Amino acid sequence: MGVTTRPRRTSPIRVLIAKPGLDGHDRGAKVVARALRDAGMEVIYTGLRQSPEEIVRAALEEDVDLIGLSILSGAHMALFPRVLALLKRQRAASVPVFAGGIIPDEDAKRLKRAGIRAIFGPGTSLGEIVSTAEKLARSRA
Amino acid sequence: MTRPGPLPSAARAIVKGDRRALARAITAIENGDPAADPVLRALYPRTRGVPVVGIAGPLGVGKSSLINALVAKLRTEGRTVAVVAVDPSSPFSGGSVLGDRIRFERSADDTGVFFRSMASRGAAGGLAAATLEATRLLDAAGFDVVLVETVGSGQVDVAIREVATTRVVVVVPHLGDEVQTLKAGLFEIADVFCVNKVDLPGADLARRDLDDLVALGSWPGGWTPVVVGTSTAPPSGLDDLWAAVEAHERHLDASGGRAADERRRLSGEIVGLVRDRVGRDLIDRLERDPELRRLLDRVVARSLDPRAAADRLLASSRRSR
Ligand SMILES: Nc1nc2c(ncn2[C@@H]2O[C@H](COP(=O)(O)OP(=O)(O)OP(=O)(O)O)[C@@H](O)[C@H]2O)c(=O)[nH]1
Ligand SMILES: [Mg+2]
């Protein structure tokens, strides 16, 4: 079709970056999306105020290898486990979920026990987020 | 061979409405995964030739917003809709931020809609190499209408000609004038011109300019492009837009244009597939060829020029075939 010869086989990591909850800031999520793109990933960015149902649906339609959730509003203890439960219900619990935002240590521990694979606080370097994301995506294959 | 018979399990799942199987098959197409092959072959006879409506036009004119509005309209009418939205891949990292989904506002429990974002992965022409075959799966999966959003570079979104049955070119008032549109070649691909953001000043002028350009043109297929004005917020003109698309679809049936277009597209597709395979085989062979290294040494040393090196490599690869 196009002018280019279709490459034989390439499978870039596809990652959904979603922003559940009601807070209106997605600067952090956008910065992470950009860093993941610069690391060669295809980042599906869904925008603000996504419900857990919308997030899981998007993840399945987009067939992502990985989901990143970003939150500042403090509703993480309600929303993150809901995302995990919906994934499980869709038999997609193998899709790793990581999270970033302002999440107290105590909550972080509980969320990790619930199945969130990695949690990044405000000070985390982009390099660390990228390498963890790559590791998580690869762990799935 | 395209033969009837039991479907491979992934194909069967897709036909039965398994959206995850559909999503995975699209990924396989994108990745050049051989797993896509039996699925595509099995489902080709099941495609019905549903309307594939291309939404092309420069960056930020409102393509995704219009798609969102059209999906809402079609769903109210009870029709199912699939969307493929293409965004560019970075030529440097190969990565991509796919943001068209931001405008998509369907409730999560509406199973009559499917939305897939797709990175162009270096393909020219405003689509991805996988877009055509993805639309075919969506057809076989039973969707009544497929909407395809192009990259939006504006200059070169011409690949939509090879995928869509009806092409909508979206522009906005004061985009940098209509001459630009002509130059970009979008004029040659439009079945419908949509002046979006008519809530902004200058919309009437833009519509009149387009009307004039349409009146001046000659339209070999017997179809004269329709110019409509829309806005997505507040919504207006969306019924006109869809009516224009349907009028074009009816024209395709009445004029025999649908069959002719399909033949042209399929011929391009088949030739393209052959070219891909021949090209890949050749490149593989050449890269393994020890002669390449020897020639390269000479080109580096300026004792041979790159064109002469290519001639020799091609000649020797033809001999060794
Ligand atoms: N004033 C006005 N703004 C609109 C209208 N439709 C869309 N927009 C705005 O235009 C901007 C771009 O809209 P999109 O729908 O993302 O445009 P697009 O063509 O899909 O953009 P790309 O995919 O990036 O090329 C957004 O800020 C929209 O809110 C409209 O009818 N009127
Ligand atoms: Mg868009």
What pLDDT, in 10s, does the model give residues A86-112? 999 999 999 999 999 889 999 999 999
Q: What is the pLDDT of residue B217?
A: 81
Which candidate in B68, B117, B266 is best for mutational testing of the A interface (most A CBs within 10 A)? B117
Whether B28 and B117 map to the same domain: the answer is no
Q: What is the pLDDT of residue A119?
A: 95
Q: Cβ of B97 and A40 within 8 Å?
A: no
B55 lines ligand 1 (CB under 6 A): no
Domain count, chain B: 3
Q: CATH no. for residue B143?
A: 3.40.50.300
Task: Among B23, B124, B276, select the one facing A62 at the smallest CB separation.
Answer: B23
Would you state the structure tokens that stand for residue B11, as one six-digit string? 């194909």
Segment B52-74 shows an average pLDDT of: 95
B235 lines ligand 1 (CB under 6 A): no
Q: What is the pLDDT of residue B130?
A: 94
At the topology level, CATH places domain A14-136 in Rossmann fold (3.40.50)
Whether the pLDDT of residue B307 is over 90: the answer is yes
Which candidate in A6, A53, A60 is best for mutational testing of the B interface (most B CBs within 10 A)? A6
Kindly state the DSSP code that residue A21 receives in the 8-state scheme: S
Whether B165 and B195 map to the same domain: the answer is yes
Q: What is the pLDDT of residue B155?
A: 62
Segment B207-228 shows an average pLDDT of: 88
Range of the domain at B301: 264-320
Q: What is the pLDDT of residue B184?
A: 61
Kindly state the DSSP code that residue A20 receives in the 8-state scheme: B
Whether B12 and B28 map to the same domain: the answer is yes
Q: Cβ of A10 and B95 within 8 Å?
A: no
Choosing from B199, B231, B255, the residue where a domain stops is B255
pLDDT above 70 as % of chain A: 93
User: Which of B251 and B126 is assigned the larger pLDDT?
Assistant: B251
Average pLDDT, chain A: 90
Q: What is the pLDDT of residue B284?
A: 80
B154 pLDDT band, cuts 50/70/90, is low
User: Which of B320 and B315 is assigned the larger pLDDT?
Assistant: B315
Q: What is the pLDDT of residue B6?
A: 72
How close B125 gets to chain A, by Cα (Å)? Answer: 6
Alpha-carbon Rg for chain B in angstroms: 22
Among all chains, which residue has been given the structure tokens 């990175």? B119
Where exactly are the structural domains of chain A?
A: 14-136
Distance CA B120, CA B97 (A): 11
- Whether residue A96 contacts residue A139, with contact meaning beta carbons closer than 8 Å, is answered with yes
B78 pLDDT band, cuts 50/70/90, is very high
Whether B2 and B130 map to the same domain: the answer is no
Hey, whose CA ends up nearest to atom 14 of ligand 1?
B62
Out of B232, B236, B238, B241, mutate this one to test ligand 1's pocket (max ligand atoms within 8 Å of CB): namely: B232
Distance CA B20, CA B111 (A): 12
- Whether residue A106 contacts residue A53, with contact meaning beta carbons closer than 8 Å, is answered with no
Using alpha carbons, list the distances in angstroms from residue A97 to A28, A82, A83, A84, B162: 17, 12, 9, 8, 38
Whether B53 and B34 map to the same domain: the answer is no
Q: What is the pLDDT of residue B74?
A: 97
Distance CA B209, CA B211 (A): 5
Whether B248 and B293 map to the same domain: the answer is no
Q: Which of A36-45, A94-103, A118-127, B151-160 has the lowest mean pLDDT?
A: B151-160
Q: How far is the CA of B116 from the centre of ligand 1 (A)?
A: 19
Q: A87 and chain B: CB distance < 8 Å anywhere? A: no
Whether B93 and B71 map to the same domain: the answer is yes
- Chain A from 99 to 138: CB within 8 A of any B CB: none
Q: How far is the CA of B99 from the centre of ligand 2 (A)?
A: 7
Whether B143 and B239 map to the same domain: the answer is yes
Question: Of all helices (H) and strands (E), which one includes residue B318?
Answer: helix B306-319
Whether B197 and B283 map to the same domain: the answer is no
Whether B119 and B244 map to the same domain: the answer is yes
Q: What is the pLDDT of residue A1?
A: 39
Whether B71 and B23 map to the same domain: the answer is no
Spell out which residues of chain B touch residue A10, defining contact as CB-CB under 8 Å: 31-32, 94, 121
Q: How far is the CA of A4 from the centre of ligand 1 (A)?
A: 30
B289 pLDDT band, cuts 50/70/90, is confident
ipTM for the predicted complex comes to 0.93
pLDDT above 90 as % of chain A: 70
Spell out which residues of chain B touch residue A38, defining contact as CB-CB under 8 Å: 90, 93, 95
Task: Among A40, A63, A92, select the one facing B93 at the smallest CB separation.
Answer: A40
Q: What is the pLDDT of residue A87?
A: 97
Would you state the structure tokens that stand for residue B100, as one six-digit string? 């068209």
Whether B108 and B232 map to the same domain: the answer is yes
Segment B195-220 shows an average pLDDT of: 88
